Structure 1
Amino acid sequence: MNSILKVLVTAAPALLTLSMLASPAQAAGTSGPDTCASGYVWREAIPSDHVCVTPQVRQQTAYDNSQAGSRRDPNASSGSNSCVNGYVWREAFQGDAVCVVPAVRQQTRNDNAQAANRLAPAPLASGPDTCLSGYVWREAIPSDHVCVTPQVRQQTAYDNSRAASRRDPNGPYGSNSCVGGFVWRNAFQGDAVCVVPAVRQQAIDDNAQAASRIAQ
């Protein structure tokens, strides 16, 4: 177990029972494009938080959520979301102001950075769009059957999950404008999910290779 989390779990034995708060399917992330690789579960800092983490991190997250009210200092500089001394905002997602110890915030950043690498590639059905061995459907949208590597599929799912946080509604293209450093993915016509430029180039390359990756 990560040494940081070992200390935290030891200090808070009650959190060891918190994995029972969700159904087994939710805890394992066993459905949909956000299915976790073996050994990981959804973090669920909020119900829609499907970043895949270890079971210990999920338990720590639930415990920190349960302690949120007791760790706030409403008289401090940031208002009602201010943390008492020794705690900082977790920042698991945009706007996450749950107060945690600094080690947990760092763990959260590490887990967010590894999110795309912890998703399980989904098996594909047979049919005219069946991919060659080693490739899977990208599914930027459900009908997107461009064949890509499992890593690209995982990145695509992650970028979809972060889409709202990367938009600048006051930008030149209205509600679909991207914040600085991001561009439209353009995996398909009208695809305005904001990604880093390297991901858009990957989408262009995968689209160009699409026909050569279909099983004959």
Structure 2
Amino acid sequence: MNKISLKDLVTPTRVALIASPLLLLLGMGTSHAAGPAFGPDTCAQGYVWREAIPSDHVCVTPAVRQQTAYDNSQAASRRDPNGAYGSNTCIQGYVWREAFQGDAVCVTPDVRQQARSDNSQATARIAPSAPAFGPDTCVQGYVWREAIPSDHVCVTPAVRRQTAYDNSQAASRRDPNGAYGSNTCVSGYVWREAFQGDAVCVTPAVRQQTRRDNALAPSRIAQ
């Protein structure tokens, strides 16, 4: 089965299309040639990565991907910096997209509902015949966590996305003047401990999920 992947779409032409909301709304550039598989996040045929942020590999239709890129391009114009939530306050008629934890891009309510629907369908849209990756191949429905590139603990796609997001927020959650120097977490956060020496600061719930995933890791490897 051919699979639609997006690594081959990051070209000057694609960048130009994303930069032009008009072209996106007209639906141009939606026909994607099939490319090689991209590991555990390869989408089933007919779906592509959403990429609300670069690590957002929820599989959606090409039209939803285009809408996401357009909404990202319009984000600044839809905010009211004097509102109740500061710079993240949406102007009237818009709400936070919430495609991932912390996603405050302002979109219409129907787009937020679409994002929720796509998130709930994410696992079902992963290619069922993803290529094997040797002894670390995950059973169907699971993907590598990749807290670091060599982290091949098998987790749900949602946990993988959370891990990528926590990595992206690591610097903002540290208190360099704390008891553990630059590894000290700000109040409310704890070390993730996905692997020995992992001091990325996360919520206690995420650390508990990490411990559970580590404990279940052997059962999620394809036999």
Question: TM over 0.5: same fold?
Answer: yes
Matches within 5 A, 1:136-151: 138=144, 140=146, 141-144=148-151
Richer in helix (by share) = 1
Q: Output aligned runs, 1:92-111, within 5 Å.
A: 92-93=99-100, 96-111=103-118
Separation in 1 of the partners of 2:212 and 2:101?
Answer: 26
- 1:50 aligns with 57
- d(CA) in 2 for partners of 1:135, 1:90: 25
The reply to whether residue 157 of structure 1 matches residue 168 of structure 2 is no
- Inter-CA distance 161–113: structure 2 relative to 1 (3 Å threshold): farther
In 2, distance between residues paired with 1:45 and 1:192?
A: 26
**Aligned in 2, Cα 1:192/1:112: closer, same or farther, shift over 3 Å?**
farther
1:64 to 65, 71, 75: 71
Gaps of 5+ in 2: 1-21
Q: Which has the higher contact order (CA 8 A, sep 6+)?
A: 2
> For residue 94 of structure 2, what is the amino acid of its counterpart?
Y
Q: 1:143-175, CA deviations, whole angstroms, 9 ceiling, x for partnerless residues? A: 4566x5xxx364553343222367532487654
Q: What RMSD, in angstroms, separates the aligned Cα atoms of the two structures?
A: 4.7
Q: Give the corresponding residue for 2:25.
A: 15
**Shift, 1:13, TM fit:** 9.7
The residue type equivalent to 2:160 in the other structure is A
Identity of aligned residues (%): 51
The equivalent of 2:212 in structure 1 is 201
Calculate the TM-score normalised by the size of structure 1.
0.57
175-184 or 54-63, larger mean C-alpha shift: 175-184
Q: CA deviation at 1:15?
A: 1.7
Contact 2:138 2:144 in 1 (8 A): no
* Deviation by residue 1:85-136 (Cα, 9 ceiling, x = unmatched): 211232435664433112212332443455456444742255xx47698798
Q: CA deviation at 1:178?
A: 8.5
Q: Which residue of 1 aligns with 2:95?
A: 88
**2:132 is the alignment partner of 1:124:** yes
Larger radius of gyration: 1
Is residue 75–residue 106 contact of structure 2 (8 Å, CA) maintained in 1?
yes
Query: TM-score scaled to structure 2, two decimals?
Result: 0.56
Segments of structure 1 that go 5 or more residues without pairing to the other structure are 1-11
Measured at CA, do residues 160 and 29 of structure 1 come closer, stay the same or move farther in structure 2, by a change above 3 Å?
A: farther
CA distance in 1, matches of 2:87, 2:152: 47
Query: What count of residue pairs does the alignment treat as equivalent?
Result: 191
Distance of 2:186 and 2:40 partners within structure 1: 24
